[in-house]
Structure 1
């Protein structure tokens, strides 16, 4: 009798457990950039969009990072819940064991797969109207802030050399975070910054003082060996014409350790919520199907499924 009652009780508990809805919640770690950067803000926006767009099924935790190289290196120890951002060129270097990845190769690097593009790192050469500079030649003899250690600083220094300005401009010893007040008080004539567009510090500079954001010629863009990008007229206060500049693509990646269904769900949710994100942060409006061509490596099979559904053309190298 006691055994029968126990069997009935256990059966009832088992039935109740089966009746409970299975949790479909997927937790993802998203690693992007320093907390003070626009790319960290993008990570927060993506986390919010994933939660809302998936009905709470995808929960993203944003982790601060010291940069793209660290993001790639961490794939060696991370699992299928890891998403990170980096330029596609760095993935290629990691997989080839070149440059900063020399001697640090890992089979894990070969498992890196793309999910979707995010706003590109866009070069801005911002000059005060008072400086009179309207092109790169006009920068000669001016005081320019490049910053230190960032992609924008390295790229800005490269362009000064390429365009014959090395040693012909005075480089300001000021932190990039102080660029706008330094420009307003005449401490500098201009600054160089790289980030998504519209760039917050360029918006602030254009709103608080008259500035000119320099346009690059097609010849200069070819010399830079970077992608051409056009910032539409009206993006910044007082900007009456398009700005032609260069950019470095940035992509959200994971590895083959992520299951296909999760990669599919994340990619689908990103594209379906992108327009909504663009209503409050205009940098998302620069992300469209055209940026798919900037993904030079392989795309995760789960993400491929979504792109095939919506008719995005993929190259053989991306499959």
Structure 2
């Protein structure tokens, strides 16, 4: 009798203990030196806080968005990665860099939530006197090498009739602010989340104008329109109208619905706190949901429906 009572008490005590289930997730981000890697670290902290410690996120360095998508083929239900939605479409269609590398797992990719977009900045020194694209003719511009911003900047010069009319500086983008200060260059092009650290530094130390694009120019680029509010950078008295490449956090249908729900809920509920630590989160709102092309994970959909987010038929 005593033994049975002891066993019953022990069983009751175990049942009464708080659940200690822990879900581990890998978040594949970007190079460790990039702002997107820093965002991944912030998201990991937000997930731990938002889930009461039940979701632990490990941030992994990546060489880029294409690698992130390719790894879907070998990853399981604990994999979250970031990439522009356009790359997911290319992977699912076996096009461009994914030609001949198709995999059925690409069709299982599902969105969770948007993160700060890659935002184009055309930054000109006050000393250059340039305040529109046409004024860049004859000026020395730093594009950088091999990055999205460099490729996009070169494309825009061609689109807006400046190809061959601008001197391209042979300087690394990491040296953009010193080069601008000493007059080695008249301006530089950079892409990243806003506010961009190098633009903040340039605006505060040198004085700059970040060029706006017209609606016609934006249409030519075939990129998403984005507005950087006045006052974002020192001396910026008006909104900056520019372009962006949306970036989204994805997983696959291999992730269970509850984990996807908790990840999405924690992201949105902790976003305001993240924005207090890093202003780039302030630009993420419901409006970016329209940039999610393709389907959203069913667990994430559950949160969005509960919260009343706008959704399209294609996302469900």
Structure 2-normalised TM-score? 0.96
Please name the residue that 2:200 is paired with.
203
In the alignment, which of 210, 227, 241 is matched to residue 244 of structure 1?
A: 241
Two-structure CA RMSD over aligned residues (Å): 1.8
Q: How far 1:160 moved relative to its partner? A: 0.5
Equivalent residue number for residue 93 of structure 1: 90
CA distance in 2, matches of 1:313, 1:209: 42
User: Are residue 309 (structure 1) and residue 306 (structure 2) matched?
Assistant: yes
Aligned partner of 1:23 in structure 2 is: 20
Q: Could you tell me which residue of structure 1 aligns to residue 130 of structure 2?
A: 133
Q: Which residue of 1 aligns with 2:38?
A: 41
- Which segment is superposed worse, 129-138 or 296-305? 129-138
What residue number does 2:265 align with? Answer: 268
* Correspondences of 1:282-301 after superposition (within 5 Å): 282-301=279-298
Q: Which moved more, 1:23-32 or 1:294-303?
A: 23-32
> Equivalent residue for 1:253?
250
Correspondence for 2:76 among 62, 75, 79 = 79
Question: Does 2:173 correspond to 1:186?
Answer: no
Runs (5+) with no aligned partner, structure 2: none
Deviation at residue 317 of structure 1 after TM alignment: 0.6
Structure 1: give runs of 5+ residues left out of the alignment.
none
Query: Which residue number in structure 1 is paired with residue 212 of structure 2?
Result: 215
Aligned-residue offset at 1:5: 11
Count of aligned residue pairs for this structure pair:
316
Give the Cα–Cα distance (whole angstroms) in 2 for the partners of residues 231 and 85 of structure 1. Answer: 22
Instruction: State which of 146, 151, 159 in structure 2 corresponds to 1:154.
Output: 151
The C-alpha deviation readout for 1:269-289, integer Å capped at 9, x for no partner, is: 000010111112111111111
CA displacement 1:155-210 (0-9 Å, x = unmatched): 00000000011111111111111111111111111100000111111001101101
Mapping 1:227-242, distance limit 5 Å: 227-242=224-239
Aligned mates of 2:100, 2:63 — CA distance in 1: 21
Task: Tell me the SS of whatever aligns to 2:234.
Answer: coil
Give the corresponding residue for 1:50.
47
DSSP-derived class of the 1:201 partner: helix
Distance 2:180 2:310 in 1: 45
Measured against aligned partners, the alpha-carbon deviations of 1:233-284 in whole angstroms (never above 9, x if no partner) come to 1000000111000011100000000000000000000000101111121111
Deviation at 1:144, TM superposition (A): 0.6
Output the CA distance in 2 between the equivalents of 1:144 and 1:289.
Answer: 35
The list of structure 1 runs, each at least 4 consecutive aligned residues, that deviate by more than 4 angstroms after superposition, is 4-21
Q: Deviation of residue 13 (structure 1)? A: 7.6
Deviations 1:25-46 (A, max 9, x none): 1111101111111111110111
1:132, CA displacement in angstroms? 1.2
